[in-house]
């Protein structure tokens, strides 16, 4: 399979994860919690793909999220692009093949990015204790889930691409 075909399949895997997370959030709607797993969606593009292809996918995911959430125009597009750039910066400082490094980067980035997103979307609510009762469990659960899921998600995609004849690890680490 060509690289373009493989990248299209990677995009479909990410869209599948995006909609699975949406369904999980629908099931959890009876409880006051919402899962945010944006870092899991972006980390593979940041650590393993070339910038042009990854940028295209980040813009596509940002526009899809924009279409599904009632926020000011461009919020999620800019959010995903900034998250992608932060993960690229962090990815240059870690060892991609070490699971602990990927998990720490994902959990830390998700926690910081959720705080920034909450500050942007609801700056007036930070002084209310009720807001913190909702935000802190979401923040903690989302950060821990991102840390737990990021490394297996990247390995799954690398295995998937390797199965179709594209060995990204060999390209990233020429011997």
Domain coverage including residue 94: 3-169
pLDDT of 172 higher than 70: no
Give the span between the Cα atoms of 79 and 114, in whole angstroms: 10
User: Is residue 74 left, alpha or beta, with left meaning phi > 0 and alpha meaning psi from -120 to 50?
Assistant: left
Q: Is residue 49 part of a domain?
A: yes
Q: Is residue 133 part of a domain?
A: yes
What is the domain count for the chain? Answer: 1
Q: Which sign, positive or negative, has the C-alpha torsion 152, 147, 70, 7?
A: negative
Phi and psi at 72, nearest 5°, equal -55, 145
Give the span between the Cα atoms of 23 and 29, in whole angstroms: 10
- Asked if residue 93 lies in contact with residue 47, where contact means CB atoms within 8 angstroms, the answer is no
Which two tokens mark 140?
A: 């903690």
pLDDT of 169 higher than 70: no
pLDDT 10s digits, 75-127: 888 989 999 999 999 888 888 888 899 999 999 999 998 888 888 877 777 77
Q: Is residue 65 part of a domain?
A: yes
SS3 14: helix
pLDDT 10s digits, 23-68: 998 898 888 788 888 898 899 888 888 888 888 889 988 888 888 8
Question: What does pLDDT average to over the chain?
Answer: 84
pLDDT 10s digits, 138-153: 899 999 999 999 999 9
Q: Which sign, positive or negative, has the C-alpha torsion 86, 112, 75, 119?
A: negative
Q: Is residue 99 part of a domain?
A: yes
Q: Is residue 175 part of a domain?
A: no
- pTM confidence score: 0.83
Q: How many C-beta atoms surround the C-beta of residue 109 within 10 A?
A: 24
């Amino acid at each position: 399979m060509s690289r373009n075909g493989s990248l299209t399949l990677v995009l479909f895997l990410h869209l599948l994860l995006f909609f699975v997370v949406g369904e999980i959030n629908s099931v959890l709607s009876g409880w006051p919690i919402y899962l945010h797993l944006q870092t899991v969606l972006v980390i593979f593009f940041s650590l393993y793909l070339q910038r042009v292809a990854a940028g295209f996918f980040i813009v596509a995911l940002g526009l899809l999220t924009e279409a599904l959430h009632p926020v000011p125009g461009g919020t999620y597009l800019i959010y995903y692009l900034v998250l992608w750039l932060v993960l690229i910066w962090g990815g240059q400082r870690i060892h991609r093949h070490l699971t602990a490094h990927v998990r720490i980067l994902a959990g830390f980035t998700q926690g910081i990015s959720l705080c920034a997103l909450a500050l942007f979307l609801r700056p007036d609510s930070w002084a209310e204790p009720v807001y913190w009762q909702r935000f802190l469990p979401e923040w903690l659960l989302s950060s821990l889930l991102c840390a737990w899921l990021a490394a297996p998600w990247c390995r799954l995609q690398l295995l998937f691409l390797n199965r179709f004849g594209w060995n990204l690890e060999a390209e990233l680490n020429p011997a």
